[in-house]
Each structure stands twice: as structure tokens, then as C-alpha cells.
Structure 1
Amino acid sequence: MIEAELPHTEKKRLAALEELQLLHTDPEENYDDITKLASYICNVPVSLITLIGKEQQWFKSKVGTDLNSAPRAISHCSHAILNPKELMEVKDTREDLRFENNPYTVADPKILFYAGMPLKSFNGNAIGTLCVLDTKPNSLNDDQKSALKALARQVENLFELRRHNLKLENVTKVLKEKNSQLKDFAGTVSHDMKMPLANMILTADMIKAKYADKFDEDGIKYLNYLKQSSFKLSSYITGILQHYESDSLTESIIEEEFDIHDLLEEIIDLLNIDYECIINLPEENLMMNCNRIALEQIILNLVSNSLKYNKTEEIVIDIECRKDHEFYHFTVKDNGIGIPKDKQEDIFELFTIIEETDRSGNKGNGIGLSTVKKLVNYLGGEISVDSDINKGTSFHFSINHTICDDDN
């Protein structure tokens, strides 16, 4: 017996094998189908997909044997991988110097025939073989050799697909970790900035009240500007906190039964509207069973936008709600300033601002609608918008009640 030499690219070969993370993994149908085909086409009792490690040869897939591995030193495949592009065929191992005294040649049952096609990694290094074995001398015809090579290419395709999937999984993991870090950072910074901003607003009011006679018109204007800027930044921070904290509203389904009129009336009270406004509630006071807190956040954002981005003397908001076998369907319609057609696809993107200022002259932060879309999607629904300039806007969204209402 002659033990196979190590490939001159052994270090790179082992690195490529390690990258696949295939050693000692569970059987997979995609690989098993190939070994079954190889055994059938070549008309032999044993077929293997082997992976050759530093000291051990391990079988990713096998047909006709109960073995899971073998020492590399006595492996036929260790010789096959020395020529990565060539199919190695040994018609009678007893007549080959490399295998004549090999334990598998003299054992019972004997391996007297071997044919193996090296399996290459993405960088061309052979990391194993697709091989067929027989207990008697044998040989493959040209068609069988071509088939074995074709099947080996399919195994290589599976290797490459796995390599790409592992990379994607790793990238996804890194992105999730970075997103989590960003979320924690945004939350911490936002919370830490709320108090100093509140102090700035209070201090501006105190200075204005106590030293008003000391300031000229420009001085008062600057104080007002400082206060307004602090309010804007505080609103921006609140929006960021709501956007990131919205995840906690949907981490688990919070089942709660309530009627839609009760929820909407609470939202209207929260808004504390101090100008002419008519809000029409749904005709039917529908009983609902879903995540009330998340739904409240969605409607609060939409109605708040209908109020802010409206320049009519009398604001009119119509809220509709209906239920089918799977979804709650909502519409929030207003008579506001509308959204340009070419901007309607962008309004749900984070930090996208369509209108420069709202009814009170304040600039939006482009966070609210992004939060709304995220909540709707978490609740198994979709959201869309229809709008015409100076005529109004309608938001349509759905919530999948089957995920939280076991009675439907």
C-alpha cells in the first residue's frame, strides 16, 4: 500500500472545506439523491460523497454502507484529489500498488473497484469526491463516466450554494447586530437629550418672563427662535423613540377585545383639537380583538397628519372600518393639502419629508409614516395611499385578525 501525498495546496484546501461547515452535518436529501443516482447509473452497490479532512475522511452522503468515516491514510479518495480535474478509476485494487495491501482490499467485504471524481471548491481545490465502489473488479463505460462527472458538478453546485448562503447568513447576523446597536444608541441618546431640551425650553420662558424689559425686539425674537428650535428637536427625538420602540408593541401579540368607537374617542381626546374639525367615526361600532396599543399608534399618527397637513377652515376626517374573514380594513380620509403623485411611493420611507411645514408652521421629521408602515406590516397587513393636491388624502390599511383572534 502507498499512502497518498498531501496536495501542494493542502492548507488552502482545508480552509475551503472549513468554510463550507459541512463536516459532521446531518444527511440532506439533495446529496442523498445524487449518491443514489450514481449507484444506479454505474450499477454498483456503494456510492459516497466524501469530504477529506486533515486526518479523517467523512461521508456526507452514502449508499450501500453503514460507515460514516474512514482514516484518511487508507482512503482511496486521498489519491483521487491529487488530480482535481480527472476521474480516477481503479478496475481492480489488488493489481494497483497504491491499494494492493490496503485494509479495504484485504478486508471482508472487500473494495476491489473504485471510481471517484474529485469535488472542487470555488477556488479549485479538491475537498472530497463523488465515488462509486464495488466488491468485485469492475469498469465504467464512457456514458457512466460522463454521468459521474455531471453528478459531481451538481454536488459542487450544492457546495457553492451553501457557501453563498452561509455568507448571507453571516451578513444578516452582522446587520442585525449593528441594527440592534443603532437602536440602543438612538434610544439612549434620545432619552438623554429629552431633559436638557426641556430645560432649554423652560429656561427660555424664564428669561423672557424675568428679563423681557432688558431685551429689544431682536432679543425676544432670538429667544422665541431658541424655544421653537428646542421644540422641533424634542419632537424629532420623540419620533425616533416611537419608531424604535414600536418594535416592542409587536414582539408578542397582545390580545384585547374592544370596540372601535371607544378606541377612536380616546384617540380624539388625546389629540386635544382646538380648531374647527369634524371626525366621522365608522357607522358600525365594530367589536375587535387585536393588538390595541399598536392599532392606536397607527391611527393616532394618521389622524394627527390629517390635522397637521390641512389648511381648510373646517377639517373633515372620515374613518371607516370593516371586517372580512381574515382582515380588519381601515380607511382614514381627510380634506387636506394632499400629496403629489410622484411622492406617494416615498412617504413611508424613514426621514422622508413631503411638505416643508404643517398647519402650525412646524417642519415634519419624516418618521411617523415609516413607523405606521412598520406596525401595519408587523400586524400582517398592508398600507397604501390615494391623494390629490388640495383635495385630500386617503390612507388604507389592513390588520390580520386571524393571528390574534382564535375564534375566527
Structure 2
Amino acid sequence: MIAPQFPVDEEQRLASVRSYNLLDTLPEKDFDNITSLVASICDVPISLVTLVDADRNFLKSYYGLNFNESPRNISFCGHAILEDSSIFIVEDARKDPRFMNNPLVKDMQAIFYAGVRLINSDGYPLGTLCVFDTKPRTLTKSQKNALISMAYQVVNLFEARKRNRMLMAVQQELEDKNEELKNFAGIVSHDMKMPLANMIITSDMLRSKYASLLDKQGNEYLEYIKQSSFTLSEYITGLLEHYESDNTASLTDEIFDSNDLLEEIIELLNINIDCEINLPEQNIEMQANRAALEQIILNLVGNCLKYNDKERIKIDIECTEERGFYHFSISDNGMGIQKNKLSAIFDLFVTTGILDRNGKKGNGIGLSTVKKLVTKLGGEIEVSSKLGKGTTFQFSIKKK
């Protein structure tokens, strides 16, 4: 018997083998199906998927055996990974100097062997897809081709599992980072709310007490401080709502009437300008996440009011139920949105650049939060608009 030598790049090869995290793992149906199929095609009693480790041959799948590893120094696969041929065949191991007196030949009657190297994308042989028989024999051309083809599929499974594992690790890292960001945003936002409120109150107190001592420019500065504080406070509120949207979307569903919800939202908006809001003619009994839906509609109707330059604002709201979804449409006669801005309107921190009716610029948080909530509720949202004419938002949420 001759023990197999080590490849010249053994250190790198072993690193590749271990990068797949398959050593010492349990059998898997995908691999077992392949070894079972190969055994049938080649008409042999034993078929294996092996990984050649530093000092052992680990059997990821073993058809016809009841153990999952053997010493590397007696393995046929240790020799097979050294060969450049497409398939390594030993027709009668009893006559081959490399395998004479090999315990596998003597004790298991491993007489015939055929193995195809499992070569990964970096060119390293990780192990083999191989078959054994207890008698001397040959393989037909079609059997050889099948063995080579199935080895290719084994490598594909290796690579797919490695990619999936890496993607899961990246996903977990992103989730951890997002959670850290949410916590950071929550802490910072809450900590900033009180100082901003103090700035607003202080600016009012200064103007009330010292307005007569300040010139026009001084009073304008105080007003600027107050309005800037309000803007930053609104930004922080929007940021908190965005990062709390996951919690909002997970709240328990309720049963309620669609028009009751819409009327409550209109009251919350406390509209003090000339505005006509047309509610749906049909009142629908809904079962959905009321809090999330309220936040969605409150944001969209709020935008209809803010981004409207008409003397009389008109808002039309429609609500229907169809094929397991609630469908909403909210249209206005406002400023409209540029066509080249529509594709990015729901991206976080993206704004149209248009000032609202009070001369303020949006922060790009509200519509991103709306899109996030709609998606979490199993629906979709889209927007259409004509500049100077108005905008229509249409969204759906899944019926529970």
C-alpha cells in the first residue's frame, strides 16, 4: 500500500475545504439523492460524496456504508484529488501497488473505485464524488459522463450553501446595524426634543419681553430661530416614526369602519384653510392594522394639504375591497410632482425640491415611512402626477 501524498498547495486547499463549513455536518437529502442516483446509474453498492480533510476523509453523503469518515492515509480519494484526469478509476485494487494490502480492500472488499474530483471555483479539489464495487469491473461511457455531471452538481450545491450562508451572515449584520441605528436614532431624537422645545419657548419669551428693544432684524432672527426649531422638531418626529414603523406594522389588527377612520384623521389634521375633502360613498367594514393605516393616510392627506398652491384645496379619497385587498386612492389638485422625481419619491431622505405652501422644504422621511408601512402590511403603493394639476397616490393593504 502507498499512502497518498499531499498536494503542493495543501494549506490553501484545506482552507477552501473548511470555508464551506461542511465538515462534521449531518447528512442532507440533496446530497443523499445524488449518491443514491449515482449508485443506481453505475450499478454499484457504494456511492460517496467526500471531503478530504487534513488527516481524514469525511463522508458528507454515504450510500451503502454505515460510517462517515475514514483515515486519509488509506483513502482512495486522497489519491484521486492528485490526478488531473476527469475521472480516476481503479478497476482492480488488488493488482494496484497503491492499494495492495489496504484495509479498505482487505476488510471491505473495496475492489473497484471510480472518483471525480470536486473542484471549486478557485480550482482546489475539495474531495470526490465516487463509487465502489466489491468486484473488478469497468464503467460505460454514459456511466462515466453521468458521474462527471453529477460531480458538477455536487460542487454547485457546495457553492450555493456557501453563498446562502454568507448572505445570511450579511443579512444578520445588516439587521444588527439597523437595530443599532434605530436605537441611536431613538435616543438622540428623544434627547433633542426637549432642547428644541426650550428653544421655541425661549424665543417666544424673548420676543414677548424684549421685542420693543429689538429692531426689525433682531425680531426676524428670533422668528428664524423658532421656525428652524420647528423644522428640526418635525424632522426628528418623522425620523422616529420611520424607525418605529416596524413596531407600528406589527400591532394587532382591529375591526373598524373605513369612513370612521377617515373622519377621525380629518379631525386630527385640524384643517384651517379652504379645503374640500370627498370621502368614499361606500363605507367598508375593515379588519386591518388601524394604527398603521392611520399613519399612512395621515401622511398622504397631510401632503395633499401642504403641497397645494390653490386657493381652494380639493382632496378625493376612494376606498374599495377586492380580491383579498383593501385599495385606497388619494388625489389632490395641488402642485404636482416632476416626472423625473416620481421614481425616487419613496426613497428615504429624497425630496422633490418643491417648497410647500408655507415656503418650507420637505425632509424626505414621510413617504419613505408610508412605503415601508404599506409593504409591511402586504401591499403596494404607486404615484401618478401632473405638474401644476395634482397628484394621486394609490395603495393597497392585505385584508386579514
User: Normalising by structure 1, what TM-score?
Assistant: 0.92
Give the deviation of 1:134 after TM superposition: 0.4
Structure 1 vs Structure 2 CA RMSD: 1.9
- C-alpha separation between the residues in 2 aligned to 1:325 and 1:353? 34
Q: Is 1:155 equivalent to 2:150 in the alignment? A: no
The residue that corresponds to 2:254 in the other structure is 256
Q: Report 1:171-182 matches (<5 A).
A: 171-182=170-181
After superposition, the C-alpha distances for 1:361-397 in whole angstroms (9 at most, x for unaligned) are 2211111111111111110111111222222211111
Q: Letter of the aligned partner of 2:238 in structure 1?
A: G
The residue that corresponds to 2:39 in the other structure is 39
Give the deviation of 1:355 after TM superposition: 4.2
User: Which is worse superposed, 238-247 or 84-93?
Assistant: 84-93
Give the deviation of 1:85 after TM superposition: 4.8
**Partners of 1:84 and 1:120 within 8 A in 2:** no
Give the deviation of 1:233 after TM superposition: 1.0
Give the deviation of 1:295 after TM superposition: 0.3
The residue that corresponds to 1:51 in the other structure is 51
Q: Letter of the aligned partner of 1:60 in structure 2?
A: K
After superposition, the C-alpha distances for 1:232-288 in whole angstroms (9 at most, x for unaligned) are 1111111111111111112x3512111112211211111111111122221122111
Q: Letter of the aligned partner of 2:133 in structure 1?
A: D
- C-alpha separation between the residues in 1 aligned to 2:84 and 2:223? 77
Q: Letter of the aligned partner of 2:325 in structure 1?
A: F
Q: Is 1:79 equivalent to 2:79 in the alignment? A: yes
- C-alpha separation between the residues in 2 aligned to 1:390 and 1:11? 68
Q: Letter of the aligned partner of 2:55 in structure 1?
A: E
After superposition, the C-alpha distances for 1:33-72 in whole angstroms (9 at most, x for unaligned) are 4323432333322111111223332222232223322222
- C-alpha separation between the residues in 2 aligned to 1:44 and 1:262? 73
SS in 1 for 2:343: coil
The residue that corresponds to 1:238 in the other structure is 237
**Partners of 2:374 and 2:381 within 8 A in 1:** yes
Give the deviation of 1:157 after TM superposition: 2.6
User: Which is worse superposed, 88-97 or 138-147?
Assistant: 138-147
Identity %: 55
- C-alpha separation between the residues in 1 aligned to 2:20 and 2:219? 69
The residue that corresponds to 2:16 in the other structure is 16
**Partners of 1:350 and 1:370 within 8 A in 2:** yes
The residue that corresponds to 2:380 in the other structure is 382
Q: Report 1:274-289 matches (<5 A).
A: 274-289=272-287
Q: Letter of the aligned partner of 2:40 in structure 1?
A: Y
Change (3 A) 1:84 1:22: farther
After superposition, the C-alpha distances for 1:94-119 in whole angstroms (9 at most, x for unaligned) are 22233222222111x41111121221
SS in 2 for 1:303: helix
The residue that corresponds to 2:120 in the other structure is 121
Give the deviation of 1:211 after TM superposition: 1.3
Q: Letter of the aligned partner of 2:11 in structure 1?
A: K
After superposition, the C-alpha distances for 1:270-320 in whole angstroms (9 at most, x for unaligned) are 111111112222112211111000000000001100111112222121211
Give unpaired runs (5+ residues) of structure 2. none
Q: Is 1:96 equivalent to 2:92 in the alignment? A: no
- C-alpha separation between the residues in 2 aligned to 1:205 and 1:294? 35
The residue that corresponds to 1:206 in the other structure is 205
Q: Is 1:400 equivalent to 2:380 in the alignment? A: no
The residue that corresponds to 1:340 in the other structure is 338
**Partners of 2:251 and 2:291 within 8 A in 1:** no
SS in 1 for 2:344: coil
Give the deviation of 1:86 after TM superposition: 5.1
Q: Letter of the aligned partner of 2:304 in structure 1?
A: S
- C-alpha separation between the residues in 1 aligned to 2:27 and 2:78? 22
SS in 2 for 1:171: helix
The residue that corresponds to 2:370 in the other structure is 372
SS in 2 for 1:344: helix
- C-alpha separation between the residues in 1 aligned to 2:344 and 2:115? 57
- C-alpha separation between the residues in 1 aligned to 2:11 and 2:191? 52
After superposition, the C-alpha distances for 1:162-213 in whole angstroms (9 at most, x for unaligned) are 3333222222222222222222222221111111111111111111111112
Q: Letter of the aligned partner of 1:71 in structure 2?
A: P
Q: Letter of the aligned partner of 1:229 in structure 2?
A: S
The residue that corresponds to 1:195 in the other structure is 194
- C-alpha separation between the residues in 2 aligned to 1:51 and 1:21? 11
The residue that corresponds to 2:137 in the other structure is 138
Aligned length: 400
Change (3 A) 1:142 1:166: same
The residue that corresponds to 2:164 in the other structure is 165
The residue that corresponds to 1:106 in the other structure is 106
Q: Letter of the aligned partner of 2:275 in structure 1?
A: C
- C-alpha separation between the residues in 1 aligned to 2:333 and 2:260? 24
- C-alpha separation between the residues in 1 aligned to 2:397 and 2:227? 37
The residue that corresponds to 1:290 in the other structure is 288
SS in 1 for 2:287: strand
**Partners of 2:338 and 2:387 within 8 A in 1:** yes
Change (3 A) 1:379 1:37: same
**Partners of 2:51 and 2:57 within 8 A in 1:** yes
SS in 1 for 2:175: helix
**Partners of 1:84 and 1:125 within 8 A in 2:** no
